[in-house]
Every structure is written in structure tokens, then in C-alpha cells.
A and B are shown apart, each in its own frame.
Chain A
């Protein structure tokens, strides 16, 4: 079974402060982990995925298989980072499709 846990429903920080959004997962195989972001009144969009090891908008996330975690970090939060963040896990479903299993999401608010 696939499971994603985001323990914080809400996270509020001040502009310029570091931010870490936590994500833990449970999956018996080799997972692919993603962070999706949803800005106010916009669609879900991919922020980053662990396999690409890139930094997007200053955010990074490292897959820690020992701790089964994929926390999202940014050293200096900006007001425009305020959004809903979803951690998602992709595991092989039937055929060659890969369904996404989402966490409940963390609403990040960056205060001026």
C-alpha cells in the first residue's frame, strides 16, 4: 500500500525565514516522489520531483530512504510562496500507468 503523510496542515512563517514542509511516505517498492503546488485559484502544478534533483523557485527536496522522508525546504521564504503544497508518491499501478498518492497538503502562509 502507498501512503503519504504531511503532518502539518498549516505552516506560517515570516518573509525571509527558512521553511521546511515535512513529508513522509510508505511504499514497499522504489518510489518516485513529487511536490505539487497549488497557488490561490490555480491548478495543481508540479514543483519538483526527486529524480531530477533540481531546485525550483529556491525549493529543494531530498529523498531520504532511511527515514522515508521527502521534506521540502527553502532557505528564505517569499510572500509569493504562499500556497498549498502537496507531497505525492508515484508507484506502478496496472499496466504502465503510475497513479499518484497525495498527502493531505500543507497550507503555507508567508507573512510580510
Chain B
């Protein structure tokens, strides 16, 4: 059964550094999402992406964040200058469309020192 994959599983970086989190959604899906979960808190929506553009972004998704689907298979989340408070588990999800099940990746744990 196809699954969403994410790399790396754990990323450690210094404050102020740029990080790119990578996701490979399920191949025939059209809708892509990033969520994050700070330790002990709820899973929070960051951004949704469809037809090569952002559909919606949350307040968390400020100018330091960007998303890209560079080659039709990968879906990346970039944080330009990481802050301590960016430390969290980041989940990628994809779906066929609209209000149908979203399939989640295993997550990337980002630790900012």
C-alpha cells in the first residue's frame, strides 16, 4: 500500500540556520499539507497546497516558511532562519482531494539548538 514518506526522520540544526524538510506524497494525490506538533501540544495546520500554489496558510506560516513542489513528486517545507520555537515534529500529508482522508507521513523531528 502506498505511503507518504518523509526525510530526514530527525534533523538537528543551529538557530538561524536554514532547513528543508522533504516529503514524497502518494503519487496520484493532488492536495498536500504540512502540519506540526510541538512536544506536548496539539497537531497544528501550517499550510495547504494545490495546483502548484498555496491554498491556505496559518498564522504560524510566516515569511520564514515556504513550500515547494519542485519536481512533481517531492513536496518540501523550508524554514529560512530557524528559531528555538520551531522545534517540533513536522508532518506532511496528502489526499486525493477536498474533504477526503488525508494520509500522513511518519514525521520529521526538528530540533533547533
Question: Are A and B co-members of a single complex?
Answer: yes
| A interface list, Cβ under 8 A from B | 32, 34, 36, 42-46, 49, 86, 90, 92-105
Q: Is the CB of B55 within 8 A of A94?
A: yes
Task: Report which of B56, B104, B106 forms a contact with A97, defined as CB distance below 8 A.
Answer: B56
Q: Is the CB of A46 within 8 A of B50?
A: no
Q: Give bound CA distance, A105 to B49, whole Å.
A: 25
Number of B interface residues, CB 8 Å? Answer: 30
- Of the A-B pairs whose beta carbons lie under 8 Å apart in the complex, a sample of 14, sorted by A's number, is A43-B106, A43-B107, A46-B103, A90-B99, A93-B56, A96-B97, A97-B33, A98-B98, A99-B48, A99-B58, A100-B102, A102-B42, A102-B44, A104-B42
B42 (CB) vs chain A CBs: closest residue: A104
* B-chain residues with CB within 8 Å of residue A97 when the two chains form the complex: 31, 33, 48-50, 55-56, 98
* A-chain residues with CB within 8 Å of residue B49 when the two chains form the complex: 97
B91 within 8 A of A: yes
B41 within 8 A of A: yes
B105 (CB) vs chain A CBs: closest residue: A43
* A-chain residues with CB within 8 Å of residue B107 when the two chains form the complex: 43
**CB contact list, B49-77 vs A, under 8 A:** 49-51, 54-56, 58
Nearest chain A CB to B59's CB is how many angstroms away? 12
Q: Give bound CA distance, A14 to B58, whole Å.
A: 40
Considering the complex of A and B, which 3 residue pairs feature the smallest CB-CB distances, nearest first? A94-B56, A97-B48, A93-B56
* A-chain residues with CB within 8 Å of residue B45 when the two chains form the complex: 99-101
B85 within 8 A of A: no
B47 (CB) vs chain A CBs: closest residue: A99
B43 within 8 A of A: yes
Q: Give bound CA distance, A100 to B93, whole Å.
A: 10
Q: Is the CB of A45 within 8 A of B104?
A: yes
A88 (CB) vs chain B CBs: closest residue: B43
Given A42-B106, A97-B98, 11 more contacts at CB 8 Å?
A: A43-B104, A44-B91, A94-B56, A95-B50, A99-B56, A100-B33, A100-B35, A100-B43, A100-B93, A102-B35, A102-B44
Q: A43-B105, A43-B106, A44-B104 are in contact. Are A95 and B56 (CB under 8 A)?
A: yes
Q: Give bound CA distance, A49 to B99, whole Å.
A: 11
